[in-house]
Amino acid sequence: MSKPADSPGAHYDRISVAYDLIADPAEHRARDLGLRLLNAARGERLLEIGPGTGRAFARIAESAGMSGIACGLDLSRGMLDLSRHQVAHCLGPAHLQQGDGRSLPYRAASFDAVFLSFTLELFEAPDVDLILREIRRVLRPQGRVTIVCLTDIPESGLVAVAYAWLHRHFPHLIDCRPINVLRFLDRGHYRIVTNESVRIWLLPVTVLLAEPLPSPKA
Ligand SMILES: C[S@@+](CC[C@H](N)C(=O)[O-])C[C@H]1O[C@@H](n2cnc3c(N)ncnc32)[C@H](O)[C@@H]1O
């Protein structure tokens, strides 16, 4: 008999409770820098894709305040439960829902800003393009996106090569790999506003703020 397929997000459901213990000590510095670049303000409509345990999401919801709105979309129910716990005491409206970042369940031009940390590098190249297109669609014309992700640039060196090798051979253990996010953004018609870099696990992490350029003519 064939094994039933995992539900979407099952991998993150399994690791959700331990996630902060494993990842947060290394990742929080880059995420904090991302939040500084995002510079979320009162009254803004904000979206986080893949909020995970909700550490950044709670701060995004606080920044949006009562007059704004924070939406979080994650594939994993386990992660969403933890995020809900984080925002339980936030004053402003915070909406968390299960869904796939490749097909955002939001109307066009409905957000001032979108935030992703350690999420874009989970996707295969065509899906990274797809997500960036979806982000363009849901952002207002003057909107912005902040991305924090492991980066594959020439200076990344052997660690990045080893990381990519592990991802190729043991994708169930290492589900992401460093990506050249600048190239994806260029292809997706975004303008880089700020681009900073920090290192975690010897790897460069890009922390950037970008805005969509006007749509190319069809
Ligand atoms: C590596 S974790 C990062 C979590 C959080 N952003 C952080 O910095 O700690 C990636 C998150 O993306 C979510 N995710 C994975 N695939 C997704 C998809 N297709 N759509 C939306 N969320 C997804 C996972 O469930 C998980 O919560």
Cβ atoms 68, 97 nearer than 8 A: no
pTM of the model: 0.92
Looking at the predicted structure, is the pLDDT value of residue 201 above 80?
no
Number of the ligand 1 atom closest to the C-alpha atom of 50 = 12
Collapsing DSSP states into helix, strand and coil, what is residue 190?
strand
Counts of helices then strands in the chain (DSSP H, E): 6, 7
Phi, psi angles (nearest 5°) of residue 23? -100, -35
Give the pLDDT mean for 63-73: 96
pLDDT tens-digit readout, 177-194: 889 999 999 999 999 999
Query: Helices 55-64 and 77-86: crossing angle, nearest 10°?
Result: 50
Q: Which residue has the higher pLDDT, 141 or 159?
A: 141
In whole angstroms, give the CA distance from residue 162 to residue 19.
Answer: 22
Confidence tier at 157 by pLDDT (50, 70, 90): confident
Q: Which residue has the higher pLDDT, 5 or 79?
A: 79
E strands along 18-110, which residues? 45-49, 69-74, 94-98
pLDDT tens-digit readout, 14-54: 888 888 888 888 889 999 999 999 999 999 999 999 999 99
Distance from residue 217's CA to the centre of ligand 1 (Å) = 33
Distance from residue 121's CA to the centre of ligand 1 (Å) = 10
Q: Which of 71, 96, 106, 122 to mutate to test the pocket of ligand 1 (most atoms within 8 A of CB)?
A: 122
In short, whether 117's Cβ falls inside 6 Å of ligand 1 is yes
Number of the ligand 1 atom closest to the C-alpha atom of 100 = 20
Q: Rounded mean pLDDT of the chain? A: 90
Q: What is the structure's pLDDT at 217?
A: 57
Q: What is the structure's pLDDT at 216?
A: 63
Residue closest to 147 by CA, chosen among 197, 77, 199: 197
Looking at the predicted structure, is the pLDDT value of residue 159 above 80?
no
In short, whether 75's Cβ falls inside 6 Å of ligand 1 is yes
Give the pLDDT mean for 158-165: 78
Pairing of strands 139-150, 111-117: parallel
In whole angstroms, give the CA distance from residue 70 to residue 35.
Answer: 14
In whole angstroms, give the CA distance from residue 161 to residue 14.
Answer: 27
Q: Which residue has the higher pLDDT, 168 or 67?
A: 67
Q: List the single range of 92-96, 109-113, 214-218 with lowest mean pLDDT.
A: 214-218
Confidence tier at 1 by pLDDT (50, 70, 90): very low
pLDDT > 70 fraction of the chain, expressed in percent and rounded:
94
In short, whether 151's Cβ falls inside 6 Å of ligand 1 is no
Place of tokens 């640039």: 153
Give the pLDDT mean for 129-151: 96
In whole angstroms, give the CA distance from residue 218 to residue 85.
Answer: 44
